[in-house]
Amino acid sequence: MEKSFEDALKELEVIVKELESGNVELDQAIEKYTEAMKLAKYCSEKLNKATEKVNKILTENKELVDFKVEE
């Protein structure tokens, strides 16, 4: 099953905090860094796909609609 963007980002944040703590042995740090890079790539790809979908929708509709986030 594919991870959600949010789940992958949370995992990445946990790894970064662990690495920043400096309390990780070298071998474990290398493993965590490798996993962090995979998660960062995954998140980047998910964002790129989302951007492509939004651009496609805008192109198909031939109009630009303001997007407002409701709080």
Boundaries of every domain in the chain:
5-61
Residue with tokens 């790809």: 45
CA distance 57 to 50: 11
Q: Tell me what the mean pLDDT of segment 2-31 comes to.
A: 94
* pLDDT for res 38: 96
Dist. CA 39–CA 37, nearest whole Å: 5
Position 52 scores a pLDDT of 85
Mean pLDDT, range 43-67, rounded to an integer: 78
**Does residue 11 or residue 58 have the better pLDDT?**
11
Q: What does the alpha-carbon distance between residue 55 and residue 51 come to, in Å, rounded to a whole number?
A: 6
For 32, phi and psi rounded to 5 degrees?
Answer: -65, -40
| Distance, CA of 52 to CA of 22 (rounded, Å) | 38
